[in-house]
Amino acid sequence: MFRIPKIAYIATAGLLLTGCSAKSNNEVVLATHDSVVITKALIADFEKSSGLKLTIVKAGDAGALTNKLVLTKDDPIVDAVYGIDNTFIGKATDNKVLDDSSVQAIDYADICFNYDKSWFESHGVAAPTSWQQLTLPAYKNLTVIENPTTSSTGLGFLAATVAQFGEGKWLRYWKALKSNGVKVDAGWEDAYYTDFSGSAGKGDYPIVLSYSSSPADEANTAAILGGCFRQTEYAATLKGANNPSGAAKLIKWLTELKFQNSMPASMYVYPVNKGAAIPESWATKAPGATSVLGENLKISQHRESWLNAWSKLFG
């Protein structure tokens, strides 16, 4: 399986973007997180259709990307950004980094638990049908997740537990999950590719926090589709951009079919354009979530208090 890991590691805020702002109105500079895939052919398509030169600056994961844009907001060195998700968009807007009128959703993915069907069949254990069941004795020492302080996948699930149980009560679930032997990895890649038994790493844990799209290229895995967290990624023009008109053209292009059709295969995310093509196998093996949680939470306002409480519990 070649799934591009979503935002896996939140780097320190002290690092700065390396790149340069647009030198003329014929160039537009885009900052992305490291997992965004825009091929040379797609770049050529944008440049031909827009008459602009596109320069792409990779800036770590979405957390690091957001932090770097905040640090350089007084002298922005890119024109646009793509890849800030809904766990971080509040931080960017609170710090007045973005032209709020330009913010546009580009893709989404549902953070859902996956399980190894072969493991459960061979061990004679019924697979879980809800993540709330993961605190039961039948699933002791079977689950691996991502640390919400270092992974937005983990943070998305933390937000889902807050939405499910409410402030003041969500931590009880996490105490039960910890007592039931949950393993916590720093990021998605370690959890999925190393510790999950259903992936190439053939690890020891048959349940993993991942995405509804992850089973698309696996032979024996499935996702629990209820109560997932929908992770949406956005593009926007930066306030003070040297080429805001070029940034606007780029953001529009990101929503058009040429780019939107490329995303499922290259990044395992769902395009927001309803006319975009979805692989046929996704309809049966990687459908979207049947229900989602946490979309209305004010994540930027509560992130620090949630993470502090979680960190005290898990050390």
Is 3 inside a domain boundary? Answer: no
If asked whether residues 89 and 118 sit together in one domain, one would say: no
Q: Are 115 and 198 found together in one domain?
A: yes
Same domain, 117 and 218: yes
Question: What are the φ and ψ backbone dihedral angles of 168, each rounded to 5 degrees?
Answer: 85, -10
DSSP string, 13-50: TT----S---SSTTEEEEEE-TT----HHHHHHHHHHH
Please state, as a whole number, how many other Cβ atoms lie within 10 Å of the Cβ of residue 314.
15
Sign of the dihedral through C-alpha 211, 149, 158, 92: negative
Neighbours of 275 (CB within 10 A): 9
For residues 124-132, give the mean pLDDT.
Answer: 98
244 phi/psi in degrees, rounded to 5? -65, -35
Whether residues 182 and 293 fall in one domain: yes
Model confidence band, residue 189 (pLDDT cutoffs 50, 70, 90): confident
- Give the residue with greater pLDDT, 35 vs 52: 52
Return the CATH number at 309.
3.40.190.10
Domain that holds residue 292: 110-229+287-314
- If pLDDT is split at 50, 70 and 90, which confidence band does 223 have? very high
10 Å CB burial of residue 52 (0-12, 13-18, 19+) is buried
Nearest CA to 268 out of 69, 87, 114 is that of: 114
Task: Say how far apart CA 60 and CA 26 lie, in whole Å.
Answer: 26
What's the CA gap between 30 and 184, in Å, rounded?
33
What CA dihedral angle connects 159, 162, 167 and 171, to 10 degrees? -110
How far apart are alpha carbons 240 and 99 in whole angstroms?
Answer: 9
Same domain membership, residue 180 and residue 114: yes
Residue 13 within a domain: no
Together in a domain, 35 and 163: no
Whether residue 216 is found in the same domain as residue 298? yes
Dig out the tokens for 286 from the structure: 């990687």
Taking each helix axis as running N to C, give the angle between helix 299-314 and helix 170-179, from 0 to 180 degrees, rounded to the nearest 10.
30
- Least confident interval from 14-23, 122-131, 150-159, 254-263: 14-23
Residue 83 lies in a domain: yes
Question: Does residue 190 surpass a pLDDT of 60?
Answer: yes
The CA distance from 315 to 309, in Å, is 10
Q: Is 96 within the bounds of a domain? A: yes
- What pLDDT, in 10s, does the model give residues 239-250? 999 999 999 999
| pLDDT, tens digit, 9 for 90 and up, residues 43-70 | 999 999 999 999 999 987 777 788 899 9
Closest C-alpha among 119, 112, 105 to residue 236:
105
Q: Are residues 182 and 116 in the same domain?
A: yes
Tell me whether residue 7 is in a domain.
no
Q: Is residue 21 part of a domain?
A: no
Question: What pLDDT is attached to residue 24?
Answer: 60
pLDDT of residue 6 exceeding 60: no
Q: Tell whether 58 and 196 lie within a shared domain.
A: no
The number of distinct structural domains making up the chain is: 2
Cβ–Cβ under 8 Å, residues 200 and 1: yes
Same domain assignment for residues 265 and 211: no
162 shares a domain with 135: yes
For helices 244-254 and 40-50, what crossing angle results, to 10°? 120
pLDDT of residue 36 exceeding 80: yes
Does residue 171 fall inside a structural domain? yes
Q: Which of 27-31, 141-145, 222-226, 292-296 has the lowest mean pLDDT?
A: 292-296
**Within this chain, do residues 270 and 223 fall inside the same structural domain, yes or no?**
no
Is residue 9 assigned to a domain? Answer: no
List C-alpha distances in Å: 46 to 26, 38, 105, 270. 12, 10, 19, 21
Other C-beta atoms closer than 10 Å to the C-beta of 124 total 6
pLDDT of residue 66: 87
For residue 108, give the 3-state DSSP assignment: strand
| C-beta atoms surrounding 18 within 10 Å | 10
Mean per-residue pLDDT over the chain, rounded: 90
Assess whether pLDDT exceeds 70 at residue 17.
Answer: no
